[in-house]
Chains A and B, each alone.
Chain A
Amino acid sequence: MTQILEAPTADDLLEVVAATWSSFLGDESGELLRPDNSVESPAERASGCVTIRGGWNGAVLLELSPRLARVAASGLFGTPEDELVPEEIGDAVGELVNIVGGNVKGMLPGPSELSLPSVTVGTGFSVHVPHATAHLRVGFSWCGEPLVVRVLQS
């Protein structure tokens, strides 16, 4: 019998993010995404967001430093970092939050729909999802670069 939890646990979220990162970016690289809840979202960052609507309502946000976003895009598409264009970085961050969000959705009461991802890149902005409150937050570091994933519930 499939067990659907009321909400994913922090461990579940950790596993999903780590799996997403390592599957596309290869854990043979030798560098691991290390769980580290002390990391802060960097001031200058790429921020991806998907919303979930239906049996459960909320959002999943994925925030990472510009450097880490380039690493992600390079790994996903096989393009050297210095050849990437901004659109590709946006696509990569969007895909990461899409996959993490899709997995989170699967652990929540359904049926629900996942929005298309939106990605913002810049400095000193914050993303607000109206009527939503923080539910879960996990942090990681990769070679000293931060990655934060948040689940908000409406």
Chain B
Amino acid sequence: MNIGPEDFRYVADFVRRRSAIVLEDGKQYLVEARLEPVARLHGFPSLDALTSRLRVTESSPLGNDVVEALTTNETSFFRDVHPFETLRDEVLPDLAARRSLTRRLRIWCGAASTGQEPYTIAMVIKDDVPNLQGWDVSMLATDLSTQVLDKAQAGRYSNLEVNRGLPATRLVRWFSREGSGHLVSDELRSMIRFAPHNLIGPPPGEVFDLVMLRNVLIYFSEEDKRKVLASVVTCMAPDAFLMLGGSETAANDIVGLSRERLGRSVVYRRTPALVPQQLSSHLTREVPSCARS
């Protein structure tokens, strides 16, 4: 099924309004591939017909399915490897030292997709950071798409998925075979709460010690990226960490974040020394007033 230029522009605009994700010119093939199953599901013989209907009923199951189909990102266990080494060697031990009185850690994985990233973090915590054993560690894993969240919640992965990035030792330790798939253990699953969340909406009403927002902001405009990061900062504890994807950077003018190189990764840290002068109107949390760190 092909999509015409007008329809493509419309779909791209619709998706951007709903999710902030930008589909650039050149991504027609992606839109065609991802929307064909949606068209079939809804009984449309062509993308032309689908788009005509979408234009008049954006807030509808069709609209939701279109957004979900075009905003799901690929993910895998231990993706890029180095960030998880940095978590193991630097970030988590640092947090373990700083939170040794409360022995409590709160983590947020935004854009968790089908769940491999939150489960990876859970494995690193359980296997690699002795100082966190017996702690109250919980993770919020969010995504725009309820379809991928359902899969993440189920925690069942195919041979192809466990082949990608997952060390065999971790496979046998944390998964059990179920039919043709591999099921994550209850012990890991119980650490994670999966919930839908749109990054351009209000931030989750919690305070986190670690935020993972990897490989999603690359699809946003600079302006939307800045808004999201400003919003994320407001739910980070005063010394919390933020990790983005390998090739991503937070713009230098994101107030409240300082950049560090730890191990082979770049991480960001909340620095509450300055008060942002202007906040986007959709932010509902107040930033704490000026405090020296």
**A→B interface (CB under 8 Å):** 1-3, 5, 8-9, 11-12, 15-16, 19, 22-23, 30, 103, 107
Q: Is the CB of B160 within 8 A of A2?
A: no
Q: Is the CB of B178 within 8 A of A19?
A: no
Residues from chain A with Cβ under 8 Å of B179 in the complex:
3, 5, 8-9, 11-12, 107
Q: Give the dominant DSSP class at B's interface.
A: mixed
**With an 8 A cutoff between CB atoms, is B281 at the interface?**
no
Tell me, in angstroms, the Cα distance from A25 to B181 when the chains sit together.
21
Residues from chain A with Cβ under 8 Å of B180 in the complex:
8, 11-12, 15-16, 103, 107
Q: Number of B interface residues at 8 Å Cβ cutoff, please give it.
A: 12
Residues from chain B with Cβ under 8 Å of A12 in the complex:
179-180
CB distance from A147 to the nearest CB of B (A): 18
**With an 8 A cutoff between CB atoms, is B249 at the interface?**
no
**With an 8 A cutoff between CB atoms, is B33 at the interface?**
yes
**With an 8 A cutoff between CB atoms, is B158 at the interface?**
yes
Contact of A19 among B29, B32, B158, B177 (CB under 8 A): B158
Contact (A3, B160) CB under 8 Å given A30-B29, A30-B33: no
Which residues of B, 225-277, contact A by the 8 Å Cβ criterion? none
Q: Is the CB of A15 within 8 A of B181?
A: yes
The chain B residue sitting closest to A104, CB to CB, is: B180
Which residues of B, 147-167, contact A by the 8 Å Cβ criterion? 158-160
Contact of B160 among A9, A19, A30, A107 (CB under 8 A): A19
CB distance from B118 to the nearest CB of A (A): 23
**With an 8 A cutoff between CB atoms, is B176 at the interface?**
yes
Q: Is the CB of B176 within 8 A of A1?
A: yes
Tell me, in angstroms, the Cα distance from A23 to B32 when the chains sit together.
21
Closest 10 CB pairs of A and B: A12-B180, A2-B177, A15-B180, A12-B179, A19-B160, A30-B33, A16-B180, A23-B160, A19-B158, A3-B178
Tell me, in angstroms, the Cα distance from A11 to B291 when the chains sit together.
58
Tell me, in angstroms, the Cα distance from A3 to B179 when the chains sit together.
7
Residues from chain A with Cβ under 8 Å of B158 in the complex:
15, 19
Residues from chain A with Cβ under 8 Å of B159 in the complex:
19, 103
